[in-house]
């Protein structure tokens, strides 16, 4: 394994070890995501029937909300013991640290989504398993795009004041294309007659977004994290 991949792997493994021992982020984020979906169902299920075509939006909003929470917590943990400074002092490529952090958060959010997607399908009558592979690809590409921007911003905000409120303020306008593409693509799959061509267009937009923003984040991580 090359140096870059090894550093990224070590950072991710460290995060996962801490997480497996405490289960702090997975359990809180998952519970939060479930409550968000429940809140929506109280508002949008009328006379026992959910409103039409709301499932994709609820799914993606729940992912964005819980993603923000997970991002904030991951870096808050690094801040409490000033371990981010230790990471930065390590003789390793800065972009590799970023990739390791990103991979850890993706893994956490992936776990949350495994529970979240069937729950949305259950409560809002959405055919989540009918087009399982395209849906999984959309979710994967969307989550990578959201977390690529989010990890960089959360890392930059570690030393800032009022970071809790600044993270969503910065992150949501920036990830509007992810939300539009994710919601529209998922809606195309949830229709009574699914439209794979439309879903594919949105998937390719998401992939393009991922490529641009991961590259840009790798490129910016070094200068923004240097004092």
| Residue 45 β-bridge partners | 50
| Interaction of residue 200 with another protein, rule CB under 8 A | no
Query: Would you say 30 or 97 has its CB closer to another protein?
Result: 97
**How many of the other CB atoms lie within 10 Å of CB of 161?**
6
Check: CB of residue 155 under 8 Å from CB of residue 133.
no
Of 32, 127, 201, 207, the residue at the interface with another protein (CB under 8 A) is 201
Q: Which residues, in sequence order, are CB contacts of 163 under 8 Å at separation 6+?
A: 72, 157
Burial of 32 (0-12, 13-18, 19+ CB in 10 A): middle
Cα 182 to Cα 56, 110, 116, 179: the distances in Å are 8, 15, 15, 5
**Is residue 161 close enough to count as binding another protein by CB under 8 A?**
yes
State yes or no: residue 154 binds another protein (CB under 8 A): no
Which stretch, 33-41, 49-57, 77-85, 164-172, contacts another protein (CB under 8 A)?
Answer: 164-172
Q: Which of 54, 58, 64, 149 contacts another protein by CB under 8 A?
A: 149
- Taking alpha carbons only, the member of 225, 131, 112 closest to residue 185 is 131
Binding mask 98-137 for another protein (x = CB under 8 A): ----------------------------------------
**Which stretches of the chain bind another protein, using CB under 8 A?**
149, 152-153, 156-157, 159-162, 166, 169-170, 173-174, 176-177, 180-181, 184, 201, 205, 208-209, 212-213, 216, 220, 223-224, 227
């Amino acid at each position: 394994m090359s140096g870059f991949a090894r550093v990224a792997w070590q950072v991710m493994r460290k995060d996962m070890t801490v997480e497996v021992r405490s289960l702090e982020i997975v359990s809180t984020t998952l519970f939060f995501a479930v409550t968000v979906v429940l809140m929506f169902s109280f508002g949008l299920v009328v006379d026992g029937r959910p409103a039409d075509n709301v499932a994709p939006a609820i799914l993606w909003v729940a992912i964005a909300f819980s993603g923000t929470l997970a991002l904030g917590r991951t870096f808050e943990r690094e801040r409490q013991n000033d371990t981010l400074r230790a990471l930065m002092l390590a003789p390793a490529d800065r972009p590799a640290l970023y990739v390791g952090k990103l991979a850890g958060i993706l893994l956490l959010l992936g776990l949350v989504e495994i529970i979240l997607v069937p729950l949305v399908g259950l409560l809002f009558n959405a055919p989540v398993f009918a087009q399982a592979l395209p849906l999984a690809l959309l979710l994967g590409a969307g989550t990578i795009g959201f977390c690529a921007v989010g990890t960089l911003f959360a890392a930059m905000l570690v030393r800032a004041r009022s970071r809790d409120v600044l993270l969503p303020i910065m992150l949501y306008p920036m990830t509007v294309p992810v939300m539009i593409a994710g919601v529209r693509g998922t809606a195309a799959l949830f229709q009574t007659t699914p439209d794979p061509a439309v879903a594919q267009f949105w998937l390719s937009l998401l992939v393009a977004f991922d490529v641009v923003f991961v590259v840009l984040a790798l490129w910016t991580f070094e200068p923004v994290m240097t004092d």
